[in-house]
Amino acid sequence: MRFDDQVAVITGAGAGLGRAYAIALAERGARVALIDSGCADSRYPKELRSGLDNTLRTLKELGATAVSYRIDVRDHDAVATMIERLQSLWGRIDILINNASIHQPCAFDALTIEQWQQQLDVDVNGSFYLAKAVWPLMKLQGYGRILMSGAASGLYGDMHETCFSTSKMALMGLVNSLSIEGREYNIGVNSITPHALTDMTASHLAPSVKPLFSKSSVNATMLYLSSKWAPTGQHFLVAAGSVSHGMFTEFQPLRIGEDDCKPEVIHENWHTHYQQLPVVLHQSGEEQITAWAKRSAAERHVVIE
């Protein structure tokens, strides 16, 4: 897969997966715009918070066409101005990878409002600002690929990860709805939930398994989801050579008649219906609501056209 003549915008490109994504796309011909605030997580030493110049230098050494912007994705005006400049410079934007994030584990009772807001501002609002800025151009082009970065904690939860998991799960909802709006304009919107050995994750991996978590499968999935062959509205889980697809599923429902609509009935049947087969997959919220209506209508002999 080649990306010649395509323009990719990558946030959080100063280190970690953002840097890896930039190199991978540049090696396959893309022109790359690197975005990083230069501050990342304040817990890291200064040399890990000033990697934007290093990433740009690496791309130049590869012979790639690249520019960098040291801006904070929480700054809506700075984001909008940067996209305007980039459009003037290269005329198009084909790929947006919303990779910027912060990670500050904290017990819920110690979590401050400021920490909560900062997490949402970087992960959710930052991704929204970038997507909002490139959306009109992608619609005009009739082509675009947008990738949101998820996390296993967002999908399943983890200790002391309430604000991080909340912000990452919010991005899943953004993908689900934005992908539906983008279909008629050939704009693919997906998420990638990766885990690889980076400066941010190194302390969370045991020494014996660190070699397993290379960036290879993550990069391969990112490139696929950035390509013209990418699906849309999908969620990929990628780590340690494993690539899988995830989505929200509904197990066989417990049907309760009006006369038996009591919490005790749900309690008594919960153990058998917790994961009752078959499993139903819905492609949209509207499809779920339609399914609810059809189930109830069939019991009442109501015809739904």
pLDDT the model gives residue 237:
92
**Sequence-distant (≥ 6) Cβ neighbours of residue 187 within 8 angstroms:** 135, 138, 139, 143, 144, 145, 146, 232
pLDDT the model gives residue 184:
97
Give the separation between CA 33 and CA 91, rounded to whole angstroms. Answer: 13
**Sequence-distant (≥ 6) Cβ neighbours of residue 31 within 8 angstroms:** 5, 6, 7, 8, 64, 65, 66, 90
Give the separation between CA 282 and CA 266, rounded to whole angstroms. Answer: 23
pLDDT the model gives residue 50:
61
pLDDT the model gives residue 259:
81
pLDDT the model gives residue 284:
84
Give the separation between CA 259 and CA 160, rounded to whole angstroms. Answer: 42
pLDDT the model gives residue 204:
67
pLDDT the model gives residue 41:
44
What Cα–Cα distance (Å) separates residue 281 from each residue in 43, 190, 196, 247, 249?
41, 17, 29, 8, 5
Structure tokens, 188 = 């693919």
Q: Which residues of the chain have pLDDT under 50?
A: 40-44, 48
User: pLDDT by residue (tens digit) across 171-217?
Assistant: 999 999 999 999 999 999 999 999 887 766 666 667 777 787 788 99
Q: Could you tell me the pTM of the whole model?
A: 0.90
Give the separation between CA 178 and CA 182, rounded to whole angstroms. Answer: 6
